[in-house]
Amino acid sequence: MARSPAVPYVAPYAVFLAVLALGTVWPLTGVADQLTRIAMVSAALWLVARPALDFRVRDWAGSLLIGALICGLWIAPDLVFPQYRHSWWFDNPVTGSVRSSLVEAERHDPLVLFLRTFRATILVPIVEELFWRGWLLRRIIAPDFRKVALGSYSAGSFWAVAFLFAAQHGPYWDVGLAAGIVFNLWMIRTKSLGDLILAHAAANLCLSAYVIATGKWEYWL
């Protein structure tokens, strides 16, 4: 049986979600936890996703600026309103609550912090952009997504992906929605998976640096 053309785009994201779920039934901590997550997602990307990967960047400066903008959007509400994230809108049984996945000891382990930053900056942008804007943004427009060019616009596809991307971010759904809108617009503008991966990586790197510098571990769910 021929493999579905969606597999290279969807499988790494499925593995990514499976790794998150695995942590609830087979809890690991420290370096072992980070290496397990990195190894499983990296294997999925190497073994399955290579045909879909395209790291060519059309607008380096613009993509880096988009990443910095999204990081700013992510932390701005909590800077302006310190108790903002603890309201019912963001702390409830549906969205979950703001709670870091790093235990106290891990927050002072340089290797854990490096590996956590590596995962957020290198692997997560590739996995998520393959799925959200490489595949789903096109798949909603047409069942045979290969006939839909990257960055094609449809209102239904645009907003469905933006809202689903928001839902993925739990108690940060509001800034997740803002980020989803900006990322979707940037894909429409650049029509480049490489630019989206770079912008996403820049956003996550800036946020990781902010988390480590300020001790705002709650941003690392």
For residues 74-100, average pLDDT: 91
In a domain, 9, yes or no: no
Neighbours of 107 (CB within 10 A): 16
In a domain, 187, yes or no: yes
Separation between Cα atoms, residue 132 and residue 159, nearest integer Å: 12
Structural domains counted in the chain: 1
In a domain, 139, yes or no: yes
In a domain, 85, yes or no: yes
pLDDT tens-digit series, residues 47-81? 999 999 999 999 999 999 999 999 999 999 999 99
What pLDDT score does 162 carry?
A: 98
| pTM of the complete model | 0.95
In a domain, 215, yes or no: yes
Residue whose C-alpha is closest to residue 15's, from 126, 114, 94: 126
In a domain, 180, yes or no: yes
Do residues 130 and 41 make contact, with C-beta atoms less than 8 angstroms apart? Answer: no
In a domain, 37, yes or no: no
In a domain, 50, yes or no: no
| Domain coverage including residue 205 | 56-219
